[in-house]
């Protein structure tokens, strides 16, 4: 693993690191914030998954999470959103290929050799992080924005014993019924929609429910609201009688200004579960 940078941040350290990924068959980069408490021993972890076109850097720089995480003594991990490199498949569209991994393991050409973001985020990067840094494996939570909100919710629902809590900012809540989802799931996983279901938070909620603490924020002025479909997830939560909160935030859009506004709430929400 290579250290790209380490900067003092709210009494802790914001680092950026790269490593070779066996899952993605390329070099990958991630950000890690360690609070001051990590100098004395392992600390809980909040994973932050980013959205379309983002790298590890967007949320690390724009979300304003480090100050709130420092107050709670929580580490933050910011993975990249896809494999990258000259030999990695890509597409001219912004919403497919590099920067748009959708947190799935691709089975279709030309994506299958590299686009294994589910294995990367669920298995490989956690193993590397917990082996290298003072992090508590038993105290993890997960959040994300847009495509990353989709990833956070589906990872939490499919690995219910892994994360003590889950949250999302404007997640792609029903991708199998949205143009932000059908295109990507078909490209990465093929035409059989049965293979899509584990990667659709609404379908997972309908099938299995979710009994961990759950918080979702969605802006009412989000220009992508029709693509995100929060109402489908809300209906599924009610049908499953799942505990959780979905807040429609009046006047907010899809930007990092929206994310930063409610980041304090989300970090505090996760801290309550992580320290319970």
What residues act catalytically? 146, 222, 254
CA distance 74 to 15: 14
Beta bridge partners of 18: 2, 29
Q: Are strands 12-21 and 2-9 parallel, antiparallel or unpaired?
A: antiparallel
Helix (H) or strand (E) holding 72: helix 65-72
Rounded CA-CA distance 178/125 in Å is 29
Eight-class DSSP state of 238: H
Token pair listed for 253: 């859009």
43 φ/ψ sector (left φ>0, alpha ψ -120 to 50, else beta): beta
Q: Which of helix, strand or coil describes residue 20?
A: strand
The Cα 54–Cα 98 span in angstroms is 9
- Of the candidates 80, 253, 247, the one whose C-alpha atom is nearest the C-alpha of residue 167 is 247
Q: Which two tokens stand for residue 109?
A: 């050409």
Cis peptide before 201 (omega within 30 of 0): no
CB neighbourhood size of 176 (10 A): 16
């Amino acid at each position: 693993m290579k250290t790209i940078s380490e900067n003092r941040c709210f009494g802790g350290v914001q680092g950026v690191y790269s490593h070779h990924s066996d899952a993605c068959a390329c070099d990958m980069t991630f950000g890690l914030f360690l609070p001051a408490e990590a100098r004395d021993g392992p600390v809980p972890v909040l994973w932050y998954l980013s959205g379309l076109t983002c790298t590890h850097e967007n949320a690390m720089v724009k979300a304003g999470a480090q100050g709130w995480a420092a107050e709670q003594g929580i580490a933050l991990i910011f993975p990249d959103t896809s494999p990258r490199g000259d030999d990695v498949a890509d597409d001219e569209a912004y919403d497919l290929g590099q920067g748009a991994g959708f947190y799935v393991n691709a089975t279709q050409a030309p994506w299958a050799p590299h686009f294994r973001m589910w294995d990367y985020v669920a298995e490989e990067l956690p193993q590397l992080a917990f082996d290298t840094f003072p992090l508590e494996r038993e105290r993890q939570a997960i959040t994300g924005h847009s495509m990353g909100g989709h990833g956070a919710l589906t990872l939490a629902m499919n690995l219910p014993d892994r994360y003590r809590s889950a949250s999302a900012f404007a997640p792609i809540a029903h991708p199998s019924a949205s143009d932000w989802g059908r295109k990507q799931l078909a490209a990465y996983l093929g035409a059989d929609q049965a293979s899509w279901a584990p990667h659709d938070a609404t379908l997972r909620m309908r099938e299995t429910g979710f009994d961990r603490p759950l918080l979702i924020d969605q802006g009412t002025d989000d220009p992508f609201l029709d693509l995100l479909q929060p109402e489908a997830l809300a209906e599924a939560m009610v049908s499953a009688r799942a505990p959780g909160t979905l807040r429609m935030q009046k006047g907010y859009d899809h930007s990092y200004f929206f994310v930063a506004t409610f980041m304090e709430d989300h970090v505090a929400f996760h801290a309550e579960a992580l320290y319970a």
